[in-house]
């Protein structure tokens, strides 16, 4: 059973993701090269496994790119546990997804601020930080942030755990002025690890 949905390619000429409606790459299969706002409109009730063949993608809990976010890089994701973070609010849904426009690692650059609206102490990041506190950031929170170049994943806990927030220079003009802009699921400004995204 193979269905291919080709569409005009957006930012990623060769970004490809294959999704399945059953665990371990079983059941109905669809291949995408551009964003999907609602997998149910393609006749699938949910996505239970997937393979990223090319590019970097973000998966979302709800349709229209809402709810929890999951960074999806090249590789095999055989079950829900493989895309989720380690959240207490455990979801088993991925209904929409889209490709991300990244930069080369060496060009990626963002600034974190202590307070909302780019106020207070600040720190410029251009690397991967499994612990912001280890690099000298004294808080377990980030009040606001600005992405100058590329795309980053920010995580609630150290070591790339907990809620994920995908931040891009191409969204909001790269400005995230308070934690409510980090994602529709953000409940606090708690962020303790950050890394770059690359294809």
25 makes contact with a copy of itself (CB under 8 A): no
The residues, ordered by sequence, that sit 6+ positions from 143 with a Cβ below 8 Å of its Cβ are: 113, 114, 115, 116, 119, 120, 178, 179, 189
Say how far apart CA 43 and CA 50 lie, in whole Å.
Answer: 16
Min separation Cβ 133 and a copy of itself, Å: 4
Region 135-164 residues binding a copy of itself, contact defined as CB under 8 A: 140, 153, 156-162
CA separation, residue 173 to residues 28, 115, 177 (Å): 38, 19, 11
Residue of the chain from 28, 35, 63, 74 that contacts a copy of itself (CB under 8 A): 74
The candidate with the shortest Cα–Cα distance to 42, out of 99, 92, 4, is 4
For residues 21 and 73, which CB has a smaller minimum distance to a copy of itself in the complex? 73
Binding string, residues 175-194; x marks residues near a copy of itself by CB under 8 A? -----------------xx-
Query: What residues form DSSP beta bridges with 168?
Result: 151
CA distance 150 to 160: 18
- Give yes or no for residue 130 binding a copy of itself (CB under 8 A): yes
Distance in Å, CB of 43 to a copy of itself, minimum: 27
User: Judged by CB, which is closer to a copy of itself: 146, or 156?
Assistant: 156
Mark the segment that binds a copy of itself (CB under 8 A) among 1-9, 37-45, 108-116, 126-134.
126-134
Positive or negative: CA dihedral 63, 68, 73, 75: negative
In angstroms, give the least distance from the CB of 41 to a copy of itself: 27
Residue 9 makes contact with a copy of itself by CB under 8 A: no
Q: Please, what is the minimum distance in Å from the beta carbon of residue 49 to a copy of itself?
A: 11
Q: What are the strands of the beta sheet with 151-157, ordered from one edge?
A: 161-168, 151-157, 193-196
Instruction: Using CB under 8 A, list all residues that contact a copy of itself.
Output: 52, 71-77, 79-88, 128, 130-134, 140, 153, 156-162, 192-193, 195, 197-199
């Amino acid at each position: 059973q193979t269905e291919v949905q080709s569409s005009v390619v957006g930012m990623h000429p060769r970004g490809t993701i294959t999704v399945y409606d059953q665990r371990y790459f079983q059941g109905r299969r669809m291949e995408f090269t551009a964003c999907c706002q609602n997998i149910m409109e393609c006749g699938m009730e949910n996505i239970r496994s997937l393979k990223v063949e090319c590019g970097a993608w973000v998966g979302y809990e709800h349709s229209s790119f809402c709810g929890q976010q999951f960074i999806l890089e090249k590789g095999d994701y055989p079950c829900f546990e493989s895309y989720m973070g380690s959240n207490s609010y455990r979801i088993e849904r991925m209904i929409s997804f889209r490709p991300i426009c990244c930069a080369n690692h060496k060009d990626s650059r963002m600034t974190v601020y202590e307070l909302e609206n780019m106020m207070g102490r600040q720190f410029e990041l251009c690397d991967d930080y499994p612990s912001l506190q280890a690099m000298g950031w004294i808080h377990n929170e980030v009040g606001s942030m600005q992405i100058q170049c590329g795309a980053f994943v920010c995580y609630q806990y150290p070591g790339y755990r907990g809620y994920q927030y995908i931040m891009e220079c191409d969204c909001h003009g790269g400005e995230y002025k308070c934690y409510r802009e980090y994602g529709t699921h953000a409940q606090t400004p708690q962020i303790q690890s950050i890394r770059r995204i690359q294809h």
